[in-house]
Amino acid sequence: MSELSAVEKAIERHSYDVIPLTERHGTPKWLFFMWYGINAQIFVVATGALGVLIGLNFWGTVLAIVVGNLVGSIFMALHSAQGPKLGLPQMIQSRAQFGFYGSLWPLFIVWAMYVIFAATNIVMAGQAFQAVYHGSVNLWAAIMTIPMILIAIFGYDWIHYGFRYATWLYSIVFIVLTIMLLVHGLPAHDLAHGKFTWGNFFLALSIYATWQISYSPYVSDYSRYLSPNLATHTFWATFWGTNIGSIWLMILGAALAALNPAAQTLSAIQGLGGHSWGTIIALLLGIGQLIPGAVNIYGGAIVTLSAGSNIRPFESTRMLRSIVALVVGILSALIAIAGSGHFMTNVENFLLFLMYFLIPWTAINLTDFYWIHRGNYKIADLFSPKGVYGRWGWPALIVYTVTFLIEVPFMNTTVYQGPISKALGGADISWIIGLIVAVPLYYWADRKWGKKDAISSVLTDREPQIVE
């Protein structure tokens, strides 16, 4: 067998399989940098503007940003703490609740999320470079996709390294922007744009909570190499990292939208910085999409391989993961080019629809992990349809479906508004209702119909990875 080249060694070997204890490395501090850094980008600023754009006033938007992020991040940080304990990507662990084949449904939802979010990163990178150098935004989007794919191919360590260094640079960029905003001032009449209504407040709250909850399928992927005894530290590093980054920059986005509701976020930033500073900042913000875009392509590749292993067991090689990452990146670029016209409307709708599908999943997964199994699973059985978790996890699948149907009357999007949301003045509290329903219902269903022999010591049942 020939020795690997230096480049091949730099490419991550693992994908959907278990990370052996001998390969665990890193510290929770990496996660603080990652989840702070992934929010230090223009996409987050643009998301912060959504509260103002739907008609809520500035201070109501700020309240929705703070509460929504703090609440939503609890769920994603709890998922992050699963990584060190199990050494698995997030969605593989869902087989314990949904069954070997039943887990394909949440896998598909998460795969779509990764591809759409990668497309969003690509669009925003392309727009930033097009704003400075002109030309076709589609051409710039295609060019910016290339480094995203390369970072995703090299994988876990490269993504963490990138965030550890980029965090400092983009902190400076957004500190400068914040100072510029404060120096220019926010006139009282700008802050009074829109009005506070409970309907718009809860709609904005749902969007911002969903921003954090949408990270739930990501987080274990970036904590699974940590030592099992670091789970608690993992929670807090993830929680504070994501909240500091997102709350700050979303409030910045809301302020920019209050100043000029008609302007795109990038245009507002350029106008704030003037010609010279605005140009530099626009370029840096475009480059700042590279690592978040790589995160989405990387996650999309892992989920694709996970779904493939449901059909036929195989060993994931460096070459295979690289090819899949390339395909996911190209697909994301094509979607970016096709959907760049109505960008923020598409993002708002997608975030809400994502919430409706993710809430039942996160409630079921966390209830199973923390309340029922207490983090102890038969790891090898997650890789076989003949294992104790079975082909179909009917309690989880039924509870998921029931919860989603109960959410429908509470939904509010530009495509559909449920009758209860209309009665509440446009408020969207579907995610709250979903959590209230799914947690006790799944606990009861699993106790009544769940697998009784599915609990095992994680630490003594870790190494078998692929079961033919």
Nearest to 127 by CA among 322, 267, 9, 17: 267
Residue 353 confidence class, pLDDT cut points 50, 70, 90: confident
Domain range for 55 is 25-449
Q: Which residue has the higher pLDDT, 351 or 19?
A: 19
Nearest to 123 by CA among 269, 276, 332: 332
Mean pLDDT of 398-423: 92
Residues near 451 by beta carbon (within 8 Å), at least 6 away in sequence: 388, 389, 390
Q: Does 4 fall in a domain? A: no
Q: Does 310 fall in a domain? A: yes
Residues near 259 by beta carbon (within 8 Å), at least 6 away in sequence: 186, 190, 268
User: How many domains is the chain built from?
Assistant: 1
- What would the pLDDT profile of 168-213 be if each residue is shown by its tens digit? 888 888 898 888 888 776 665 666 677 888 888 998 998 899 899 9
In sequence order, what are the beta bridge partners of 417?
A: 412
Q: Which residue has the higher pLDDT, 196 or 159?
A: 159
Is the predicted pLDDT of residue 336 greater than 70, yes or no?
Answer: yes
Q: Does 172 fall in a domain? A: yes
What's the CATH code of the domain at 406?
Answer: 1.10.4160.10
**Residue 8 pLDDT:** 76
Q: Does 15 fall in a domain? A: no
Q: Does 314 fall in a domain? A: yes
- What would the pLDDT profile of 276-331 be if each residue is shown by its tens digit? 777 788 788 888 899 999 999 999 999 999 999 988 888 888 899 999 999 999 99
Helix, strand, coil shares, percent, the chain, to 5? 75, 0, 25
Q: Does 168 fall in a domain? A: yes
Q: Does 153 fall in a domain? A: yes
**Residue 460 pLDDT:** 44
Helix (H, G, I), strand (E, B) or coil at 5: coil
Mean per-residue pLDDT of the chain: 87
Q: Does 466 fall in a domain? A: no
